[in-house]
Every structure is written in structure tokens, then in C-alpha cells.
Chain A
Amino acid sequence: MDNTTAIHKLSQRHIVTLLGVAAVALIGAAQLLRGPAPFDGPIIAERPVIFPDGAELYVQKYEVTVAEWNRCHAEGACALSLHVAGNHTEAEMPATGVSYTDVSEYLKWINRASRHSFRVPTLQEWEFMAAEVLPETPDPFFTDPELSWASAYLLEPQTKRTLLPKGAFATTKEGIADLNGSVWEWTADCYAGVSETGIDTNRCPAFFVGGEHIAAIPFLVRDPARGGCAVGAPPAHLGMRLVSERPWTTSGFDAR
């Protein structure tokens, strides 16, 4: 990827954001006139995640499903259309093969359609909510400073990489399912490399994804291929999970 493309894409993102804001305003006006149309939005886990500082986070119980994703596509807001293999239904399979760019499209759509503010979690939020179901981080095989480039290599057995229907993996005490599954979830955190000040998220070449091990994935990647010089086992599948600081109800209005 060359930088020109990235910058071009990102300015497009800004334009889409502005259009999105305008659209929300219009739809909002229309809905006020007609009364709130029920929006069959995401299912949120039974209990919010409560952070040490007392902040609450309302987390989607399962990862966004293929059915939910394709609604965004059907309404013309998500370029990518997904299908499920085999005998599974769209409603039971997580949406996978999505890049950070795709995820951004979905977020814009769901926020417009639901009149709510959803986002993907930060890496810190993700790690906190997933801690109880994740295996212990194995000690690095290579500890010499000269071998820091290889220290993330995983010689431990990996969770099965097979894509399974939602709910096939562990559920946290808050009721959040599949955080330890075969889908790695995009976070909002930019992989800033060695930069101490961080990189502007709008120009971020790679984001962290949450899963059995944390990985950084270039924003254009939909399927992290295994192989080449890449060190270790990359994520099996890329998907997403919505979070919000505010509870969500299907009325489209805040519960508070």
C-alpha cells in the first residue's frame, strides 16, 4: 500500500463521516415526524462491563452476524456482501472477512440506523472484558533483546481455527460470548509502531485485533493469510463487536 492511496482513502472517510452526519440529521427529522420506527438492533450482553474506574460499557453479546452485516449491505451502506458456507444460517454465523475499512462502513450505518452511538472497543477495553476467558499468555520463547523481533512467536497449541456459529465458545460473567473464539475482533487502537506520541488514527496503517493472542493487522486486510515471513500464527478470522457507553433499547431512544 502506498501512502497516497491511504491518504486518499482517509479523506474519503472524512467525507463519508460528514455525509453520515447529514444523513442522521435528515433521518432523525423524518422519524420525529413519523414517530420512532423500531430498529431491530444488536443484542447487548445481560450486564455491562464495569471498569476499575467505575465506567460502564455495554457490549454486544455476540460478534456482528452475517445477517446483521448484510442488512448494511442491502441498504447500500456496506460495500461488502457476505455469505455463509454449508448448512448454517446468516443469523447464527459471525460476519468475518471484514477489514477495518469495512468495519468503519458498518459503524457509520448502524449509528445512523439505530440513532445510537456504537463503536468498536479500545484494545484496553477488549482485553479487560476478555480477561476471564483468555488463556494465560505463555512466556516468550525468545527472551534475548536481540531476538525481540521473534519474541511473539507462539509455540503453544492454538485454539481451533474453525469458524463456528455464535455462542460456540466461552461466555463471560457479563454474558459476552465468543471472546476466546476463532474470530479476532477489530479494536479502535492503532498499532503505532515505535512512535511515542502515537499515530493519527485517521492515518493508521494497522489496528490491533483482540483474540486469543493480540495481533496488529493492516487496515485493508480481510483475511490474515498464514505464511511468508510473518512470525507466528496470525488470527484465523477477522470480525467485529459493537460497544457503547450507553445502554441500547430497540425503541431507538436511550434508556436513560
Chain B
Amino acid sequence: MTKIINPGLLPTSRRNVLRGSVLAGAAAMTGGATFAATRRAPLSKTHAPMAYFTQAAEQQAAAEAAPADLTGYTRVKMDLVAPPFAPVHEQVATGGPKIIEITLVTEERLMVVDEDTGAEVWALTYNGSVPGPLIICHQGDMIEITLRNPVESQLEHNIDFHASTGALGGGGLTHVYPGEETVMRWKATKAGCFTYHCAPGGAMIPYHVTHGMNGAVMVLPREGLKDAEGNSLTYDSIAYIGEQDYYLPMDENGDYLKYEVAGEDYADSLDAMRTLTPTHSVFNGAVGALTGEAALRAKVGDTVLMIHNQANRDSRPHLIGGHGNYVWETSFSTPPLKDVETWFVRGGTAMAAMYTFEQPGVYAYVNHNLIEAALLGATAHFVVEGEWDNNLMEQVVAPHSFET
């Protein structure tokens, strides 16, 4: 299935694409020609709908642009961790700007969405989790990402960082087939929480995104978070919550269908997605992933920064029994909203809400469309230890029978 996509460029059959990466690797070892040689057009029929845009991006990148000025940058590696946790990071940047090296592996894996019903999905993931790991940097830093697609994958993947500038958020430069990897560097120019997601082209974009392939980047201001008056705001921990809407195909009895390999559900999924009615809306990949033994933990007096990612659909988190003391729905450049009851997550964004726990007990963090919270799975729990404060709340008279 050789297909010439552009006169003068290599025919991009799968074999040639693979050979191209070998050649690129060889070129990299020779040193000098690396910059130009590592760029290639990994186009094929599977993302033909994006060909126009991708070519444009490629041509733009291939033009005689001046090399990036990396003077003054320090290279560091960031070890990414699985949600709901955050990687080790500084709240206030010390030293000069950094080039932060990260690696994301596009793992396709069968995940149980709801143990009760047996609903499962061939999740498309970054590093094996839904959502993908939280990435943290400061404004002015650069993220240098190695995106690796394992040999055993079925599908092509890439990554679009909403925090980045150009080439479709990097999507145009990061298409990797099974057995390929690529490296891309982008500068964090805007402070805020931003989503990232896979965007291979056409209907594959929502297919990948609704199969778990999304996550968040937090770009902190170099001097850390501040309130509207410019006072510093710090947190004791981060709760990184990815809300995932799934559209799982069912048979005529309403039982969830099972598939042998990733991608086998493609046609059925598109039909289910077209309804715009999710079968599940869950936090961190599965119903109950952040409740019970996996509940989020805190102590009275702890300040928690809750980062909420929703790459596809609006949401409205509410912390039952608490508040959002400071809420950044858009960027960190805009002063935070204060003392919010329910905040808004625009579909296709990540955002942050900060709260200091004042009372012990159990708090439910829900999508306050309560149908989605209770029936579709969008519930997490915080279990908070500490001393009860009767000034804030007291049971004055316990429930009892009254005279009729």
C-alpha cells in the first residue's frame, strides 16, 4: 500500500516509515545533520484527513527557521508518577529556566471501568494510566518529551499539548507508529493548567480521547501561585483528578461488549460516541478509583490543590462539605475566583481549585451533575483526619420522633 503523498518526499508505506526512522537514528549518531534528518513525514492512509494540516506543519518546521536559543537553560529529568499523585516539583522556581525531559509511552491496555457490571475498555493511555501523568513546570521552562509507541501497539499515537505553541500543539510533529519514538521540545509560555491529548486525525481524535488518552500539564508562575492581591499561595499536596467520559458499546440487552484487542471496538465506539451520551463519566479511569481504600487523604489544616482535567466535555466539580477557596478556571495569569461552591471545567481544559480543610470526616468530590456523580461514576472521596470544630457545625438535636 505504497502511497506517494507529496512529490519529492519518500513514499510512506509502513516499511519506509520504519526505515526512515532507522536512517534518522543513524543520522543522529553522526551528529551534524541531526536537526534536519530527524524530521520526516510519517503520513499514511490512517490519518489522511489530517494530511493537509500535518504537511503544513511539517513544511513550516522544515523551513529555514533559526535554531532554538537554549542558552541559560539547565537540563533536568522529571520522573512522572501515576495519578492522583504529582511529580516532585518546586512551587516557586529556583535558578534559571529548565529544559525538563519527560518520557511518555503510549500503552494500550484492557482496563475495567466498572467492576460491578463488568464494563471494560481497551484504554489508550500515556504511561498506562487514565488520565496520563501530571506534568509540572514553570513559565519559561521547556518540556522535552520523548513519545514512544511500543512495538506491540495496534494504533498510531501522537500528542497535542494545549500549553504549547505551534504545529497543532505538537500533534503535527509527534505521530508515532508501533515501534517508533520521537522527541519534541516546546516552551511553556503561558501559566496555568492545560490539557494534553492524543489527536491522530479525524474521528480517531475523539476515539483516542474518549479511550483515556489525555492528561494535564501545570505551568506554574515562576514565583508560584498568588491571590488577587499578590499574596503567595502554597499547597501541601496535589490531588490530580482526570474526568473521563466513556462511550462503551452495548449489545441489545444492554450488556457491555468485549473486544480482543485495542481498536477492535472502533466502529461500535463511534456509534456510541455519536449519541453524545456517555455510559460512564469517571475519575481516574474507573468507577470507585478514588473511593474507599483508594480515597484521597488529608489532615485538617492541609491545603490541597485539586487539579481537574477534562479533555472532551464540560464538568462542574463540587466538594461536598467544603469549598474552593481559590479557583483558577482558566489561567494562572488571571486572579483566582474566591470562595466558590461549584467551579466550571470547560471541556478541553485542565483547571485548579485550592482548599484548606477545616473539618475532619469524609468529603465527596463530585461532578455536580449528580446523575453523573451517582450513576455514571464521577465521584471521589477525601478522608480527612483531625479535630471536629463545633463552631463550624454542631448537631444540636439528634433526629428523634416528634409528636403528631
Residues on A lying within 8 angstroms of B by beta carbon are 83, 85-86, 141-142, 144, 146-147, 149-150, 153-158, 160-163, 193-195, 223, 225-233, 236-237
Contact = CB atoms under 8 A, between A and B. Distances in A.
Interface residues of B, number: 37
Contacts of B293: 154-158
3 closest A-B pairs by CB:
A227-B379, A146-B388, A85-B255
A144 B118 contact: no
B278 interface: no
B360 A147 contact: yes
Nearest to A83: B253
B379 A226 contact: yes
A225 B374 contact: yes
A1 B189 CA distance: 53
B152 interface: no
Interface string B272-303: 00000000000000011001110100000000
A147 B388 contact: yes
Contacts of A227: 287, 291, 364, 366, 373-375, 377-379
Contact of A86 (B118, B320, B388): B118
Contact of B292 (A147, A225, A232): A232
Given A153-B383, A162-B118, A163-B118, A228 B364 contact: yes
A161 B139 CA distance: 45
A221 to B, nearest CB: 11
Nearest to A235: B116
Contact of A149 (B361, B375, B377, B387): B361
A168 to B, nearest CB: 14
A10 to B, nearest CB: 18
Nearest to B399: A194
Given A226-B379, A233-B291, A161 B115 contact: yes
A236 B115 contact: yes
B116 A144 contact: no
B25 to A, nearest CB: 45
Nearest to A146: B388
A90 B291 CA distance: 32
B120 to A, nearest CB: 11
A179 B378 CA distance: 30
